[in-house]
Amino acid sequence: MIGDGPLVQVAQRAVDLERAAAFYAQLLGVPVAATFDPPGLAFLVLGETRLLLERGAPSALLYFAVDDLDARVDRLRASGVTIVTEPHTIFEHADATLGPAGTEERMAFLTDSEGNTVALVEHRQSGARDGA
């Protein structure tokens, strides 16, 4: 039945497969699980979901969970990654419909090595602030 299982795979455009694989391995902190070139495919495994980097794929907007959004953005910026939108709160979850109840959903957007936009998402206890 569709909709009752985990997301198996999502594909992202990779102009330069080797460069994209290195970028996402560093971004996500996981190794490249397999590369098939030709035809131009690289896989990274994220829990139950595979990230497929593919030369022929269209660009996708991917959202990745992180524990400390501000620190991650600082590290990425220091390594030369372009931050498109700084970390900010987009929503507060009063209930658990779309995220953990009692949390702020914070996001930042960056540009990957292939020119795709990527989002980083943090759920932080509502009212929690840096240094608190």
CB 100 within 8 Å of CB 121: no
Do both 98 and 51 map to the same domain?
Answer: no
Q: 40 is in which domain, residue-wise?
A: 1-60
Number of domains the chain contains: 2
In whole angstroms, give the CA distance from residue 74 to residue 11: 27
Examine residue 39 and say whether the peptide bond preceding it is cis (omega within 30 degrees of 0): yes
Express each pLDDT in 10-59 by its tens digit.
Answer: 999 999 999 999 999 999 999 999 999 999 999 999 999 999 999 999 99
Average pLDDT value over all residues in the chain:
94
Do both 32 and 70 map to the same domain?
Answer: no
In whole angstroms, give the CA distance from residue 45 to residue 115: 22
Do both 51 and 73 map to the same domain?
Answer: no
Do both 28 and 46 map to the same domain?
Answer: yes
Query: For residue 127, what pLDDT is reported?
Result: 78
In whole angstroms, give the CA distance from residue 126 to residue 107: 14
Residue 122 phi, psi dihedral angles, 5° rounding: -125, 140
Strands 9-13 and 32-36 turn out to be unpaired
Residues in the chain, total: 132
Q: What's 101's domain CATH number?
A: 3.10.180.10
